[in-house]
Structure 1
Amino acid sequence: MKTTIAKLKNHIGEEVTIGAWIANKRSSGKIAFLQLRDGTGFVQGVVVKSDIPEEQFLLAKGITQETSVYVTGSVQTDERSQSGVELVVSKIQVISESQDYPITPKEHGTEFLMDHRHLWIRSKRQHAVLKIRNEIIHAVNEFFYNNDFVKVDPPILTGSSAEGTTSLFHTKYFEEDAYLSQSGQLYMEAAAMALGKVYSFGPTFRAEKSKTRRHLIEFWMIEPEMAFVEHEESLQIQEQFVSHVVQSVLERCKAELQTLGRDVTKLENVKAPFPRVSYDDAIKMLKEKGFDDIEWGDDFGAPHETAIAESFDKPVFITNYPKDIKAFYMKPHPERDDVVLCADLIAPEGYGEIIGGSQRIDDLELMRQRYEEHGLTDDAYKWYLELRQYGSVPHSGFGLGLERTVAWLSGVEHVRETIPFPRLLNRLYP
């Protein structure tokens, strides 16, 4: 019977065949241990010299790392194993021999591993991170489907920008100028006026010359927009959404979290509701923590976000930022003209902002005023203005960065490990 490593626990006592690669091996005089992987998981294959033909045992002892094989054997329980089983091998068939595999069990530098990213993703740690990424993607789609959102795909090539063109990749679109999208939000607002509650899930691009552990040039964003939803309701949806994603990973990725050594007690408490701190109070908190240079009207950097998050054991919303440091489309606070109805959700443990969101301006005249203040042209943005002209309604939205969320839940230090093939400031290979 042919099966996969993930399903071996369903075949205790049976003889099965799996296709696999040799992740590692060790041997003594009379027994060889093969660490097998097949993409669905890892399992140990035990090869006993007295139980198989001599040439098979010699093959097992000499087999090289990352050689691909078919392995036949009996599935036995093994409580010490993460998978709960091991495979007592009766036959090995080599499919393709691997020679001089460059990534060995010894330590390698980051640049070496990044140059060999196409191979590095085979390792147990990277496998675990990418499986957690997959579960987050599943949980995202599950949450929105179960809550009656419609998935809409905005364009990647655009003629304008959601937040200005200074950090956009420029290209030519035949005879016109075009940009790689840094956000699908404006288009999602149009979709919300047609379909009510919508979300996009796709790649975005920021031409920022940043080398921090939180930044990628190409990354994936989840961007919901909701008609007839105001700021407070949007915050409630955001905390329910993040809670669902975290609890799904805890439930379905136990082995991967264990592989990564993740302290899951720090995640188990991530359940709605989340604490909220106004921007005004956040400034006071930072001054009390020794950030003497921070002043009202300044944007927060990574050290500021980390310092605020340290006071909480859940993600925390920072609400009502100054109007002048936020995007043109954010709705002013009804009681103050210097702040807007927005919030950033800051993850614990120093992982920074994972969500940015706001209620959007729905008043036509106010949006026209914003156009003038920000120098937006009718040629590029007429269609966006028309959303306020033809049946405008209160509406809100937010964006969650997938890779930062993967880093947080996996407990990895740098976002470069959270996407299969990262695009960094000085890296376009492989």
Structure 2
Amino acid sequence: MKITIQEAPKHVNEEVTIGGWLANKRSSGKIAFLQLRDGTGFMQGVVVKSDVSEEVFSDAKNLTQETSLYVTGKIVEDTRSDFGYEMQVSHLEVIHEATDYPITPKNHGTEFLMDHRHLWLRSKKQHAVMKIRNEIIRATYEFFNTNGFVKVDPPILTGSSAEGTTELFHTKYFDEEAYLSQSGQLYMEAAAMALGKVFSFGPTFRAEKSKTRRHLIEFWMIEPEMAFMDHEDSLQVQENYVSFIVQSVLANCNLELKILERDTSKLEKITAPFPRISYDDAVEFLKEKGFDDIEWGEDFGAPHETAIAESYDKPVFITNYPKDIKAFYMKPDPERSDVVLCADLIAPEGYGEIIGGSQRIDDLELMERRYEEHGLTGPAYAWYLELRKYGSVPHSGFGLGLERTVAWLSGVEHVRETIPFPRLLNRLYP
């Protein structure tokens, strides 16, 4: 019977065959320990000289790293391993012998590993990060489908920008100017007017020349948009969603979190509701903490966000930013025209902003004034204005950056490890 490593717990004391690769091995004169992987997980295979033919034992001792093979044997419990099971090998068949595999068990520099990202993905920790990423995606679909949202796919090639043209990748679209999308939000607003509650999940692109551990050139965003929902309604959706994906990772990625040595006690505290602090109060707090450089009206940088987050053991909303540093479509606070109904959600442990959201302007006259202030003319923006002309309603939405969220939940230092093939300022390979 051919099974996967993931299925091994269902076949204790049965003889099975697993197709996989040799991740590592060690051997003595009488026993060879094979560290096997097959894409679904990692498991040890034990080859005892006295229990197998001379040919099998010789093959086991001479296996090279990343050689592909079929391994046959009996699944038994192994309380010493995180996985809890191992195979007592009786037979093996080499499919393809790998020679001179470049990523050895010794330590390698980050640039070397990034140059070999197509192979580095095979390692135990990178495998664990990708499994956590997959669980967040799975839980995202479950959360929004369960709560009445419809999945909508906005275009990647667009004729306009969502928040400004300075960080866009420009391209030609036949005889027209076009950009790679930096957000699907404007299109999701149109979808919400048709379908009520919608969400998108897809790649976005920012031509931002940043080298920080929080930035990628190409990254994935989850962007819900909701008709008939105000800013407060949206904040509740955000905290419930984040709580749901955190608890899903805890429930379904226990082994992966162990492999990454993640302190899960910190994640267990992540349940709604989340604390909130206004931008006004955040500025005062930062000044008290010695950040004399920050003034009202300036955006927060990574050190500022980290300092604020350190005062909480849950993600914290920073609300009501100044109008002049936020996007043109954000609705002003009815009680204060100099700030808008928006919030950034800052993750704990120094991982920074994972969500940005706001209530959108629904008044046609106000949006027309915004267009004039920002010089938004031509057909690329005309359709967006029409959303306020034909049956406008209060509506809100937000965007969650997948890679920053994966980094936070898995506990890795840099977002380049949270996407299969990262695109960085100086990296377009592999």
Q: Tell me, yes or no, if structure 1 residue 13 matches structure 2 residue 4.
A: no
Q: Distance in 1 between matches of 2:340 and 2:164?
A: 18
- String of CA shifts for 1:37-77, please: whole Å, max 9, x gaps: 00100000000000000011010001000000000000111
CA apart distance, 1:204 = 0.2
Deviant stretches of 4+, over 3 Å: none
SS class of match (1:370): helix
Letter of the 1:65 counterpart: Q
Q: Distance in 2 between matches of 1:136 and 1:380?
A: 34
- String of CA shifts for 1:160-197, please: whole Å, max 9, x gaps: 00011110000100011100000000000000000000
Who is 1:216 aligned against? Answer: 216
Q: Tell me, yes or no, if structure 1 residue 203 matches structure 2 residue 203.
A: yes
Q: Tell me, yes or no, if structure 1 residue 149 matches structure 2 residue 146.
A: no
CA apart distance, 1:388 = 0.1
SS class of match (1:423): coil
Q: After the TM superposition, which residues 219-368 of structure 1 pair with which residues of structure 2 at under 5 Å, given as runs?
A: 219-368=219-368
SS class of match (1:368): helix
Q: Distance in 2 between matches of 1:110 and 1:364?
A: 51
- String of CA shifts for 1:131-173, please: whole Å, max 9, x gaps: 0000000011110000010000000000000011110000100
Q: Distance in 1 between matches of 2:269 and 2:379?
A: 49
CA apart distance, 1:378 = 3.3
Q: After the TM superposition, which residues 47-196 of structure 1 pair with which residues of structure 2 at under 5 Å, given as runs?
A: 47-196=47-196
Q: TM-score, normalised by structure 1?
A: 1.00
Q: Distance in 2 between matches of 1:180 and 1:298?
A: 28
Q: Distance in 2 between matches of 1:379 and 1:70?
A: 60
Who is 1:402 aligned against? Answer: 402
SS class of match (2:387): helix
- String of CA shifts for 1:78-133, please: whole Å, max 9, x gaps: 11111111100000000011010000000100000000000000000000000000
Letter of the 1:392 counterpart: S
- Which segments of 5 or more consecutive residues in structure 1 lack a partner in the other structure? none
Q: Distance in 1 between matches of 2:226 and 2:301?
A: 29
CA apart distance, 1:379 = 2.3
Q: After the TM superposition, which residues 23-62 of structure 1 pair with which residues of structure 2 at under 5 Å, given as runs?
A: 23-62=23-62
CA apart distance, 1:380 = 1.6
Q: Distance in 1 between matches of 2:40 and 2:291?
A: 47
- Which segments of 5 or more consecutive residues in structure 2 lack a partner in the other structure? none
- String of CA shifts for 1:258-303, please: whole Å, max 9, x gaps: 0000000010000000000000000011001100111100100000
Q: Distance in 2 between matches of 1:171 and 1:380?
A: 15
Q: Distance in 1 between matches of 2:215 and 2:286?
A: 23
Letter of the 2:223 counterpart: E
SS class of match (1:389): coil
CA apart distance, 1:7 = 0.7
SS class of match (1:384): helix
Q: TM-score, normalised by structure 2?
A: 1.00
Q: Distance in 1 between matches of 2:208 and 2:278?
A: 28
Aligned residues: 430
